[in-house]
Amino acid sequence: MNRASLRRVALSALFALTLLPASHAADPGKTLRLTFQAAETGFDPTRVSDYYSGAIIQAIFDPLLTYDYLARPAKLVPNVAESLPQVTGEGKTYTIRISKGIYFANDPAFKGKKRELTAEDYAYSIKRFFDPANRSPYAFLFEGKIVGLDELGAQARKTGRFDYDARVAGLEFPDPYTLRIHLNETDYNFSHILAFGLSGAVAREVIEAYGEEANAHPVGTGPYRLKKYTRSSKIVLEANPGFRDKVWDFQPGDDPLDREIVVQMKGKKLPVIGNVEVSIMEETQSRWLAFEKGETDIEYQLWDVSSTFMTQDNKLKSGFVQRGIKLNRTVDPEITYTHFNMLETIGGQPNPVGGYSLEKNALRRAIAMAYKIEDQIRILRKGQAIRAEYPIPPGIAGHDPGYRYGIPYDPKTANALLDRFGYRKGSDGYRTLPDGKPLVIRYSSMPNERDRQFDELMKRSLDSIGIRLEIHKDRFAELIKLEKRCRLMMRSAAWIADTPDGDNFMQLLYGPNTGQSNNACYRSPRFDRLYEKSRTQQAIQNHGPFDGGGHRLDNGGQPLPERSDAALRNRLQEAPGAESGVDVYGPRTAYQTMSADPSARACRGRSDSPGAPCTPLPGPQEV
């Protein structure tokens, strides 16, 4: 999922533990208080791609499948489905039976009637990804896969209207509780898409009743519903009183903590916590002060102030230990990266970094050689990150642990490369384009202190090779909009795993995904063919074609100058209350099961604030 820095709020709903009997519903007197470091963009599953919106969506809506959050490696389990899909026809047909008696949260759109979840709701929700009016950034999940659906989307682009009542051969619902999906090609990994948080079902009545406002009026079948919402400021969830009977029931792995969790949580009815309050705080210092004063219960993205609470050997300082604060460290299944816009023009104006000519390749390579990623990790990240060598992070199928990023830090050679290709320095020390026109690189980032530090490092890097840098500032949501329209020249972003499959990372460079997840607007026929071939592989562990793809990107078009790092998540929380003795995270997450560290945990909370289910989050933007 998109997350500027791809970290994707490990948050996603948390679960802390209490010793409530299994028969008890969520305690309305319990509230879990969290923060987002960037504002949400909305709560329509079809229309968003950011980490923060995804965290809320996955607490409100239900995908067909989910993950066993204690299993290593990732293991799919039913969510609203009765069982895992029946896969037939050499991996081309998926049949899913939906459990009966699951209802949407009450809403005026249902005109006072209880509204049961049906197979048709999932068919409708999948169709919405193809409606041009939704401009879905996640349409790539389904494009080219379901028989007849791409053709229906193409027809809508011609007529200006998507026909939701049209029959689609690839989406059948022979009875209210059976969904049958026919694929164009063999795909034994399609079940992972059915577990993706943004594939949850919406009700057609709600979408049609609220229209464009549906993005701020989510109604789902999940454990929570939206209680209060102030855009870019405050999000309050409350337990859904009509949520189905769901009991915590997972088996422990080898980790001793897993066994302790099972002892404490087994048999408890979900959700346990009554309310979740999310405050938007863009500045790290503000979030840290709020946590110190006890105004929030958990904080996670504090690497730029990590020296305040951590020792040099990455332990929690004694003063915080004495106060009952706990520290949990994990490596996220993500990459952060800086991308160039590969189009030759942006908004009708020449793009100095776009195109595939030798001199453009030389310019992009020189910029990559001038950027010292070690300084980013050591100075800006305060050592709380590891270098990302490969497009697919550790712990994800397709990762190559032996691969090393091929562009070294070498400003001397970078300067020589620019000289050779005609980027000459003027009297002011800055270079011009080969045709003598001014060379100015426009780098986009958010208006906060963290990004200002990255701006300064980027400027020092480009100054070292005589390239003038212009900084463009905008809010998170606006940057995403511009990015999807290929209107940004250069930006740092991130991607965290939506599924435990390397495909989820390599699709970031797939040409047809331009306008969705391909923020570099990169098109390489050779790469596209390689990627398309990889999608037909049967086993999630087999991604051999990706190996060569990484090398070709280093030595070819170079849309990504740096696969910079994978952040270490330092999660602070108050220690559990005396009545429980252990803190626990939620039952519904692929997040921790995809971690490079098999003992890593996606979510944690306070035992005196029992929490909501954890959820895997989508992916762009956080840096």
Residue scoring higher pLDDT (290 or 612): 290
Q: How far apart are CA 65 and CA 75, in angstroms?
A: 10
Region 592-620: mean pLDDT is: 27
pLDDT band at 225 (very low <50, low <70, confident <90, very high): very high
Element holding 422 (H helix, E strand): none
Residue 241 DSSP label: T
Residue 106 DSSP label: P
Q: Of the ranges 178-182, 216-220, 318-322, which one carries the lowest mean pLDDT score?
A: 318-322
Q: What are phi and psi of 337, to 5 degrees?
A: -155, 160
Whether residue 106 is predicted with pLDDT greater than 60 in this model: the reply is yes
Residue scoring higher pLDDT (416 or 26): 416
Residue with the two structure tokens 């105004």: 295
Most confident of 225-229, 382-386, 545-549, 550-554: 225-229
Whether residue 381 is predicted with pLDDT greater than 60 in this model: the reply is yes
- Residue 568's pLDDT is 59
Element holding 131 (H helix, E strand): none
Mean pLDDT, all residues of the chain: 82
Q: How far apart are CA 338 and CA 563, in angstroms?
A: 7
- pLDDT tens digits, residue range 26-55? 888 899 999 998 899 999 999 998 889 999
Answer yes or no: are the C-beta atoms of 322 and 316 closer than 8 Å: no
- pLDDT tens digits, residue range 134-172? 999 999 999 999 999 999 999 999 999 999 999 999 999
Q: How far apart are CA 351 and CA 364, in angstroms?
A: 12
Q: What are phi and psi of 309, to 5 degrees?
A: -125, -5
Rounded to 5°, the CA angle 135-141-145 comes to 110
Beta strand 490-496 with 562-563: parallel, antiparallel or unpaired?
A: unpaired
Region 107-130: mean pLDDT is: 97
pLDDT band at 388 (very low <50, low <70, confident <90, very high): confident
Helix axes 358-370, 411-420, angle to 10 degrees: 160
Tokens representing 240 are: 């859904």
- Residue 180's pLDDT is 98
Whether residue 435 is predicted with pLDDT greater than 50 in this model: the reply is yes
Residue 379 DSSP label: I
Give Cα 90 distance to the centre of its chain. 31
